[in-house]
Amino acid sequence: MEQQQFEFFANEKLEDPEIVDPATVFGHNHKLEPLPKEKKAMWRREMDCLLSVCDYMVETQSSLQVLQDGTPIEVMMTQTRSDICVNLPALQKLEAMLIEILDNFQDTEFWYEEQGSRSSKSVSSGSFTRIELRKEEKWWVPVPCVPPGGLSEESRKNLRHKRDCANQIHKAAMSINSSILSEMEIPDSYMTTLPKSGRSSLGDSIYKQMYVPENFSPDYLLDCLNITSEHEALELADKVEASMYTWRRKAGLGHSKSSWDLVKDFMSETDNRSDKNTVLAERAESLLFCLKQRFPKLSQTSLDICKIQCNQDMGKAALESYSRILEGLAFNIVSWIEDVFSTDRSINHETTNINKSN
């Protein structure tokens, strides 16, 4: 049972954090409200199942002990693996903070209505305007409603504070998830699918701008590309990452040449392949970093997905899944708060227009 549930967590891809959650507890939750006791108990069972493997992830370390007769001896001691010691307590603290944020949403000034249902309260107050303004075609997602005069300033302040906290938690969970993924081995199945050249993967236009001998600027290159959607950003991230590892592989192959070949490559100004590939790989890495900074909510790249699916380290898999669950929950909380603010702004805008017309 534990193995089946673990595989479900490990293979789940967070394509749309607002809909898909690796944890079933939050998979059907779309409101800013405290979790019921039964859901909290279910959440705890799921997390205990997911993290149970971490208790058996240990490493050995030598320790000096002194016998009763004063003879020093070296013995091997077992302790929890270092990556789990560092990341697991941090993730558990982030989880507690997220649950606390949800628990604080009691007796709020806003409420929710199912899309398509117009209660007398929502119709008379005019707070159902959010349904017409909602751009997403998600009929199953409840719509936040606010009083006719909008939220009070104190309520807005509390919402902003909770949104900022959830946003910081989201960044922290993303950082931990990224560090865990970076420590996973690159599967051979991914390496075999790499293009023969980084140029063919990126295209001539991007390659020429990256091949400029001096003054390469990843930010300037991204400005020129004018990426307008996360889909385009993810597609570019896959290409840049594939090119980066292609160039790294070529640079590594260059080190296997004979000494005389290395001297000739070093002296040649037209075919210094090892140096060129190293520089291009570094520039691709900086471009990928800037791209992820501009699109912090970017889904996993093809390499990340391949790592998750092929990873054999149960400890890393548990930490990666846990951090991804918290990342998705934090993202959802920020999105739900933004929905409330959007409804509040629309009500204030309507009120302003009515006052002007009168």
pLDDT tens sequence across 39-60: 888 888 888 888 888 888 887 7
Which pLDDT belongs to residue 142?
84
Closest of 105, 84, 102, 99 to residue 44, by C-alpha: 99
Q: Are residues 201 and 278 in the same domain?
A: yes
Number of domains in the chain: 2
Residues β-bridged to residue 74:
64
Q: Nearest-CA neighbor of 299 among 1, 3, 26, 17?
A: 17
Interhelix angle 314-357/37-51, rounded to 10 degrees, is 150
Does residue 98 belong to any structural domain of this protein? yes
5 occurs within a structural domain: no
Mean pLDDT across 323-350:
87
Q: Give the confidence band of 350 by pLDDT, cuts at 50, 70, 90.
A: low
Q: Is the residue at 80 inside a domain?
A: yes
- Please check whether residue 25 is in contact with residue 43, taking contact to mean a CB–CB distance below 8 angstroms: yes
Instruction: Check pLDDT > 70 for residue 173.
Output: yes
Domain assignment present for residue 16? The answer is: no
* 49 assigned to some structural domain: yes
Predicted confidence at residue 358, as pLDDT, reads 54
Vertex 178, ends 172 and 179: CA angle to 5°? 95
Average pLDDT, the chain: 78
Residues 163 and 29 in one domain: yes
Provide, rounded to the nearest whole percent, the portion of the chain with pLDDT above 90.
Answer: 31
| In-domain check, residue 121 | no
Same domain flag for 265 and 292: yes
Pairing of strands 111-113, 72-80: unpaired
Predicted structure pTM score = 0.74
**Is 124 part of any domain?**
no
Rg for the chain, CA atoms, rounded: 26
In this predicted structure, what is the pLDDT of residue 150?
Answer: 86
Q: 233 and 280 in one domain? A: yes
Q: pLDDT band for 269, please (50, 70, 90 cuts).
A: very low
Are 135 and 209 in a shared domain?
A: no
pLDDT in tens, 1-18: 444 444 444 444 444 433
Range with the poorest average pLDDT among 16-20, 47-51, 175-179, 250-254? 16-20
Checking if the pLDDT of 234 tops 50, the result is yes
Instruction: Give the pLDDT score at 2.
Output: 40
Say if 294 falls within a structural domain.
Answer: yes
Residues 189-201 have a mean pLDDT of: 89
Question: Do 39 and 75 have their domain in common?
Answer: yes
pLDDT exceeds 80 at position 254:
no
Highest mean pLDDT: which of 71-85, 131-145, 236-250?
236-250
pLDDT band (50, 70, 90) for residue 351: low
Same structural domain, 234 and 336: no
Q: Do 152 and 276 share a domain, yes or no? A: no
pLDDT for 167 equals 93
Q: How many residues does the chain have?
A: 358
Q: CA end-to-end span of the chain, whole Å?
A: 66
**Same domain? 30 vs 165:** yes
Structural domain range at position 204:
185-310
| pLDDT of amino acid 268 | 45
**Are residues 129 and 343 in contact, defined by beta-carbon separation less than 8 angstroms?**
yes
Which pLDDT belongs to residue 235? 93
Residue with tokens 């534990």: 2
Write the CA distances from 329 to 16, 196, 324, integer angstroms: 11, 39, 9
pLDDT digits 0-9 by tens, 92-130: 999 999 999 999 998 888 998 876 544 434 433 333 333
For residues 283 and 266, state if they share a domain.
yes
Q: Do 232 and 328 sit in the same domain of this protein?
A: no
Domain boundary among 291, 310, 329: 310
Q: Are residues 26 and 166 in the same domain?
A: yes
309-314: list long-range contacts, CB under 8 Å, 24+ apart.
Answer: 309/10, 309/11, 309/187, 310/187, 310/189, 310/190, 311/10, 311/184, 311/185, 313/184, 314/6, 314/53, 314/57
Would the pLDDT of 266 be above 70?
no
Pairwise CA distance, residues 319 & 91, whole Å: 8
Give me the CATH number covering residue 214: 1.20.58.1310
* Residue 134 confidence (pLDDT): 47
Confidence of residue 208 (pLDDT cuts 50, 70, 90): confident
Which CATH number goes with the domain that contains 29? Answer: 1.20.58.2010
Res. 211: pLDDT tops 50: yes
